[in-house]
Amino acid sequence: MIISCPSCKKSFQIDENLIPVEGRNLQCGSCSHVWFFKNETSNLELKKEIFLNNEIESDKKVEKNKIDIRKKDSPNKIINNTDKALIKYDEGPKVTLTNLLGYIVVSILSFIALIILLDTFQTQLSSTFPNLELFLYNLYEILKDMSLFIKDLIK
């Protein structure tokens, strides 16, 4: 294959096997110019061959995976709407009461862990956060008020 330097236009004879499909950097021996070279003709032939192989394989898959759309056994079936296109039908994740309760429990436990961590390292953190003691005191008072409120509701 003959390659020309884009800078000085000097031509060089290069073996095609030295240039991979994705291309590579070349350096001119005459002017030392470096450029990226990609062989477009071999890439076009390779893309055409890959495209034809994929078409043949997808036609085989379409024939194998034909499913009657009228059947509603499972929501996760592959449905053949056209000769070439396969569409996967999926309802997505469902939010259930158990999931919601799980998120609430994890949030409450994380909040309690944060309070315990702040209370444990209160003296060390008070230099960085001067109002931490007041904040924790108010938080404890709010929690006491909430517990009294819930006890009054239960009675």
- pLDDT tens-place string over residues 98-120: 888 999 999 999 999 998 998 89
Q: How far is CA 147 from the centre of its chain?
A: 43
What is the pTM assigned to this prediction? 0.37
Measured in degrees and rounded to the nearest 5, phi and psi for residue 113 equal -65, -40
In angstroms, the CA 149 to CA 15 distance is 85
- pLDDT tens-place string over residues 2-61: 778 888 888 877 777 777 777 888 888 888 888 787 777 655 565 566 666 666 666 555
In angstroms, the CA 120 to CA 139 distance is 15
- CA-wise closest residue to 59 among 78, 82, 84: 84
DSSP helix/strand/coil, 69: coil
